[in-house]
Structure 1
Amino acid sequence: MDQQQFGNIKSSFTTHCLVDLLDYIYKNLGKRKTSVTLTFIGFQKAFDFVHHTTIITKAINLQLHPSLVSWLSDFLSHKN
């Protein structure tokens, strides 16, 4: 299992991920010529406003890797 996996693991919380992220940032900002750019995206509600078939069709048209399209489809249909 990936050491950076925090989701769907018993006794693992968002806080663990944030602490790990901050540790990584602080360690690397001490290096010369280093910068950090972060983007946080919450997908849960965003997909409630768009038809899921539209999202899947656009992903296919963008030629996303088939495994990513499959993951996206599973995510939208609430499969685990």
Structure 2
Amino acid sequence: LDLPPTENLLFLRYTDKPGVVGTVGNAVGKAGINIAGMQVARNRAGGEALMALNVDSSISAQVVAAVAKETGAELVRALTLIS
């Protein structure tokens, strides 16, 4: 993944399948958070995938939980690097 470090980030590790990018975008958008950048990579079709997002504001634990539930991702982490 090639993503510049910014103040607010979201990372996911999940099984590659259709709809995950849209689900994440919808969940973040419903929370009123703008996506500034996104990178997605996978090891093979249907295999392990990674997603990293730069976002304009911090992501709450509720949004993280919703993304995890709706995508089935095995790992979802939100980071705020500057407080």
TM exceeding 0.5? no
**TM-score, structure 1 normalization:** 0.28
> Larger Rg: 1 or 2?
1
Higher helix share: 1
Greater relative contact order: 1 or 2 (C-alpha under 8 angstroms, separation 6 or more)?
2
Higher strand share: 2
